[in-house]
Amino acid sequence: VQGALWGGRFAGGPADALAALSKSTHFDWRLAGYDIAGSRAHARVLHKAGLLSEEELAGMLEALDALDADVRSGAYLPADSDEDVHGSLERGLIERAGPQLGGKLRAGRSRNDQIATLGRMYLRDHARIIAAGVLATVDSLVEQAEKHLGVAMPGRTHLQHAQPVLLSHHLLAHAWALLRDVQRLADWDKRAAVSPYGSGALAGSSLGLDPNAVAADLGFDSAAWNSIDGTASRDVYAEFAWVAAMIGVDLSRISEEIILWATKEFSFVTLDDAFSTGSSIMPQKKNPDVAELARGKAGRLIGDLTGLLATLKGLPLAYNRDLQEDKEPVFDATDTLELLLPAVSGMIATLVFNTERMESLAPQGFALATDIAEWLVRQGVPFREAHELSGAAVKLAESRGVELWDLTDEDYAGISAHLTAEVRTVLSTEGSLDSRSSQGGTARTAVESQLAELKKQLDAA
């Protein structure tokens, strides 16, 4: 069979149904460049081990360069008879170097150690692209936070008004989560920087090849210490898929808020025309499709992770063909995030906030009740009692359909002698915000130090 990698012990070729099932070129072709890089490195260790002469190495590298150029230009493509990227590229090599020389490259390596290595190379490159996209999204959040320093908004728990916070504080909460995702990718890379090349099919090679030379050649920190682990483990892929899913979830949570904020009822933000869509029937519509697609794609990214984990569960060591299913989920994850991140960061960067509305709503819904309770604590009242007294003020205000600051000094005095007119100092958004000035708080001064720390960590990321 043309392009087949085995044949000796077979009397016939594969059934069409098997060949169709087996085929992976339609998704693993994107690894062709990494496969050729691996082949170059492998040719060098074969030469070092005395298995390729000087001339043979030169001829091999020349043929690989020619193949590389043809793959890049699209002149060389997988044939229908090719099963996977490795087999196809061996065919291409033999076409260029001849069977005598081209047939030597496969010594001491297996598609099992090849594919495990190439996947890591691909993911390490794409982790960098994704980290840059996440950092750009963080930058959009930071810019908006800096632009709106001092603007108050209703902080919520259970989606109910809870306490006033600064808009910048809220935006930076999303920034911190995304920054941790970038830090996770960097930390993940330490584990991804181990090369399985040299592990062979599962047991290593008898040919005296140097796996660390290949590893260094391909930009890894070291070669795998266990050839079974090298070929059979995919936890590094799964960990990548987890971080990708987490990024998706973090983007989805921001997006859900933007969707809410853009409703008539909230009217907190207006989306830029460039990042919103219209309706084919309702002329007035301006829809937050970027945010909705982000929310939707989080589900897809979670699916990529769970699909991969399900593939791995129950696999005996070492390589099993099930592992061919490792690629599409992680490719889908990188494709999805690389498509999504520029759209989300652009959407955030161009949001226009209705700051007047946010500010006017910030203290409403009795959002200053905690301030009353904490003010009482500062007057020496036990918090249990302070909570009750503030609650009584809320009850009174609610029964009258007014806010806490509408109650009179007499109303407060009637609830408790502790509630003197002085309590009014905390009955404003500014008073409430300014009082929360310790690290991590929402006071402007605390948010300014937070911004400085975030930027420091961003520079280091």
Which residues in this chain contact ligand ARG in the complex, by CB under 6 A?
24, 28, 84, 111-112, 115, 319, 321, 323-324
Q: Could you tell me the smallest distance in angstroms from the CB atom of residue 99 to ligand ARG? A: 22
Q: Could you tell me the smallest distance in angstroms from the CB atom of residue 150 to ligand ARG? A: 55
Judged by beta carbon, residue 209 or residue 323, the one nearer ligand ARG is 323
The span from the CA of 129 to the CA of 154, in Å, is: 35
Q: Could you tell me the smallest distance in angstroms from the CB atom of residue 165 to ligand ARG? A: 49
Judged by beta carbon, residue 112 or residue 140, the one nearer ligand ARG is 112
The span from the CA of 184 to the CA of 114, in Å, is: 26
Whether the bond into 452 is cis, omega within 30 of 0: no
CB atoms closer than 10 angstroms to residue 108? 21
Judged by beta carbon, residue 28 or residue 217, the one nearer ligand ARG is 28
199 given a catalytic annotation: no
Q: Could you tell me the smallest distance in angstroms from the CB atom of residue 326 to ligand ARG? A: 7
CA 48 vs. chain centroid, Å, equals 40
279 given a catalytic annotation: yes
Judged by beta carbon, residue 323 or residue 376, the one nearer ligand ARG is 323
User: What is the 3 state secondary structure string of the chain?
Assistant: CCCCCCCCCCCCCCCHHHHHHHCCHHHHHHHHHHHHHHHHHHHHHHHHCCCCCHHHHHHHHHHHHHHHHHHHHCCCCCCCCCCCHHHHHHHHHHHHHHHHHHCCCCCCCCHHHHHHHHHHHHHHHHHHHHHHHHHHHHHHHHHHHHHCCCCEEEEEECCEEEEEEEHHHHHHHHHHHHHHHHHHHHHHHHHHCEECCCCCCCCCCCCCCCHHHHHHHCCCCEECCCHHHHHHCCHHHHHHHHHHHHHHHHHHHHHHHHHHHCCCCCCCEECCHHHCECCCCCCCCCECHHHHHHHHHHHHHHHHHHHHHHHHCCCCCCCCHHHHHHHHHHHHHHHHHHHHHHHHHHHHHCCEECHHHHHHHCCCCCCCHHHHHHHHHHCCCCHHHHHHHHHHHHHHHHHHCCCHHHCCHHHHHHHCCCCCHHHHHHCCHHHHHHCCCCCCCCCHHHHHHHHHHHHHHHHHC
Q: Could you tell me the smallest distance in angstroms from the CB atom of residue 28 to ligand ARG? A: 6
The tokens for 430 are: 């500014």
Judged by beta carbon, residue 84 or residue 217, the one nearer ligand ARG is 84
Judged by beta carbon, residue 4 or residue 349, the one nearer ligand ARG is 4
Catalytic residue among 73, 158, 399, 438: 158
Q: Could you tell me the smallest distance in angstroms from the CB atom of residue 344 to ligand ARG? A: 32
Q: Could you tell me the smallest distance in angstroms from the CB atom of residue 197 to ligand ARG? A: 13
Judged by beta carbon, residue 112 or residue 276, the one nearer ligand ARG is 112
Q: Could you tell me the smallest distance in angstroms from the CB atom of residue 85 to ligand ARG? A: 7
Judged by beta carbon, residue 115 or residue 343, the one nearer ligand ARG is 115
Catalytic residue among 22, 53, 267, 279: 279
Active-site residue list: 158, 279
